[in-house]
Amino acid sequence: MGGSPKNSLVFAYYVTGHGFGHATRAVEVVRNLIQSRHHVHVVSGAPEYVFTTAIQSPRLFIRKVLLDSGAVQADALTVDRLASLEKYIETAVVPRASILATEVEWLKSIKADLVVSDVVPVACRAAADAGIHSVCVTNFSWDFIYAEYVMAAGYTNRPIIWQIAEDYSRCEFLIRLPGYCPMPAFRDVVDVPLVVRRLHKSRAEVRKELGIGDDKKVLLYNFGGQLSGWNLKEDYLPSGWICLVCGASEDQELPGNFFKLPKDVYTPDVVAASDCMLGKIGYGTVSEALAYGVPFIFVRRDYFNEEPFLRHMLEHFQCGVEMIRRDLLTGHWAPYLERAITLKPCYNGGINGAEVAANILQDTASGKSHASCKPSGSRRLRDAIVLGYQLQRVPGKDVAIPEWYAVAQNELSFRSASPNDKSSPAISCTKEIEDFEILHGDHHGLSDTISFLKGLAELRALADPVNHNTHQSRESLAAAALFNWEDEIFVARAPGRLDVMGGIADYSGSLVLQMPIREACHVAIQRNHPSKQKLWKHAQARQQKEAPTPVIQIVSLGSELGNRGPTFDMDLSGLIDSGKPISYEKARKYFSQDPSQKWAAYVAGTILVLMTELGVRFEDSISILVSSGVPEGKGVSSSAAVEVASMSAVAAAHGLSIAPRDLALLCQKVENHVVGAPCGVMDQMASACGEANKLLAMVCQPAEVLGLVEIPPHIRFWGIDSGIRHSVGGADYGSVRVGAFMGRKIVKSTASAQISCLLQNNSSQQVNGNTSDEREKDGNNLLETEACLDYLCNLSPHRYEASYVDKLPEYLQGQEFLNKYVNHEDSVTVIDKKHTYAVRAPTRHPIYENFRVKQC
């Protein structure tokens, strides 16, 4: 560290309570400050030994206080979003006033010259209240991380995000670490190199101490000490490999080729002594893998938004291999290990970020102004847009990163390869387009179809090793290796749709008017005998050499713009149990076990539905490429477009003739039963049966097409993005549907009760010699119809207001409804006994919406 000032400075260094990664990187900065004879007071909920083991100095003071809670993890790979917010509210929101008072008093008592935060929000506010400057040191901020969790918990939790961002805005500037996320709350930024823990021993020394010979390959198993329920087996490792396990409990038994590391082992030394590492992505593991050139096999972590940015950095420097969670848990490790040791990590940036950061902090505490790279207005605006985008996201879907932000370009000094990149092979696609035979429809006027076919030609060229580019995305490389390019490939297109009238009332039987939009999903599919299919290496590892089995392989282009896995594969036999298709419930659980691959249910689910509903037998392997231009979460049927395009392509490749209406109904089963989203059939019908420049008129009982309505040439329809995210798989959509079906059940029950009452009265009248008139009979017939009401939309507004509105509660708890009515007669939703549902409004809306559409 550079020359220190004459007088010793006092630093208050706040470290977040989220894991050990922040504490271990803070140690390096603190060590540099103490070497310059400064005093550092560390405030953290992390164990004291994390700091005192690395730094033995009377100038280090530890104050164990938890001022934030980070992310609560259900296990090593799963963040509990709701529990994380609840813990943060309990830890930092409820006691906020007392925390601020305590911290202000303490900061004044130690006469702090500077407050440093990694990355505790309230520390910045406390510093400001105490009249002390503050600086943050981090690669992410909690407002960005928690934005995802707020979407799961509900909009009422948004003030948490605004409060965190406001706290951060009180600091002087941000010392930003590589692999950073959008952080618009910070007004000023200084970029530094990687902060990495230094090595204490050489690779040879570590191996000698552990008794590992040079003939052994070493895998470091590093999941942060959360191994509960994970069984490790000897055959997970290829011959000649051993595995060093971090964080194993004392009573955990390990196979003979797995070895426990001591709890106090110095991890960076072991990382550098290993041939590769297997774990979850975090700043500490990524920085050490890059710094010491160790290939990192990583498994995606759910709902932690820091990950995509670090993953891009890993993969750019050829240091990362993604392992599918299923293969981690079932022991198919060999292909990933083989791939990892062929990598040539090429990170050549600085690793002295701790020293650089300490110098900046020293200068700032001394009153010197430090030159910074203040973000341009456009960059701060883009950061703010990303954070705003987070807050409008679809519940249940992973973080999506706009393309212009997909790679943190400025700290990596590179750009992703683009279609116009001169390094990409120049391809003439005219011939490739002409090679496709049109089986149905045409591509005239469909520029997206032309582009997709050109894209296939580019992938074909990329399949040639001569054209490989180290900066090609992983999904492009996987897609290039997907097909036998000399064999037959089928392509299908299905559009999204604009809901003109009828909308959310479709599952209640409304008349709707739907218009296909120009944005569409394209699916390319190829079937091959199992012996001829090109398989990814991890899929090959599951195959028996004597008798290869059919495999489904899927690539989703554009998935890396979100935190979804770009590839999915499974043995076709996984959809069969005892010679029959597996149940929809079992399939839904299968596809849900890894959230990063849950998207595959929309595609592979079409195969299961065809097997179940039509008895189709699939004996060949199936390779599928999906590319959708339909915006997600905008209410324009992105999921239906994927389902219809996928099933159309599967049907074409297997010679199946399915009428558009039937295909739509089958696709609805995919979404209802395999995906588990309680949508009506309107979306699939519009995608399968609609025509350009026409409105599809249909009555959703269940799917009766009335005809196509020509749109006059002087009329145009425009869809404007409201910014409110929409998902038929979201909690709000499901709750509204449950409320509507509750209302229908109450209407039916009320009508039945009135019939019983009338029958009793009629019996009394007959005894007295009186008979009912025709009007009474009509009333009885009407009640009988309403007692058997199939769809709410068959109830007129007049009858609703006259007979039922007063019987419908505004809200009703699930348990109370079940106690009185037993069930709500909806096969695709389940009532949560503890949830309180709106009933009257969801019941009223489809009745009046259907009436409105009919009047137009």
**Residue numbers annotated as active site:** 683
Tell me if 350 sits within 8 A of 509, measured CB to CB.
Answer: no
For residues 705 and 507, what is the distance between their CA atoms, to the nearest angstrom?
Answer: 15
Tokens for 349? 């940036």
3-state helix, strand, coil in the chain (%, to 5): 45, 15, 40
- The Cβ of residue 243 has, within 10 Å, a number of other Cβ atoms equal to 22
| Angle of helix 158-168 versus helix 142-153 axis, rounded to 10 | 170
Residue for token digits 């407002």? 143
For residues 52 and 48, what is the distance between their CA atoms, to the nearest angstrom?
Answer: 6
How do beta strands 621-628 and 511-528 pair? antiparallel
* Secondary structure of residue 588 in the 3-state scheme: helix
* Secondary structure of residue 540 in the 3-state scheme: helix
Residues in the chain: 856
Burial of 624 (0-12, 13-18, 19+ CB in 10 A): buried
What separation, in Å, do the N-terminal and C-terminal C-alpha atoms of the chain show?
76
Tokens for 121? 């929000």
CA dihedral 98, 101, 107, 110 (to 10 degrees): -90
Please, what sign has the CA dihedral across residues 365, 371, 372, 377? Answer: positive
Name the residue among 485, 496, 493, 487 with its Cα closest to residue 440.
493
Strand-pair partners of 100:
none
CA 372 to chain CA centroid, nearest Å: 34
- The Cβ of residue 206 has, within 10 Å, a number of other Cβ atoms equal to 22
CA dihedral 690, 696, 701, 703 (to 10 degrees): -20
Residue for token digits 């009248």? 765
Strand order in the sheet with 320-322: 258-260, 241-245, 217-222, 276-280, 296-299, 320-322
Residue for token digits 């000698």? 208
Tokens for 470? 């180290």
Q: Is 367 left (phi over 0), alpha (psi -120 to 50) or beta?
A: left
For residues 377 and 389, what is the distance between their CA atoms, to the nearest angstrom?
Answer: 18
For residues 724 and 676, what is the distance between their CA atoms, to the nearest angstrom?
Answer: 22
For residues 498 and 686, what is the distance between their CA atoms, to the nearest angstrom?
Answer: 9
Instruction: Find the helix or strand (DSSP H, E) in which 81 lies.
Output: helix 81-88
| Amino acid of residue 558 | G
Strand order in the sheet with 39-44: 60-64, 39-44, 10-15, 114-118, 134-138, 173-176, 189-191
Residue for token digits 């456009």? 378
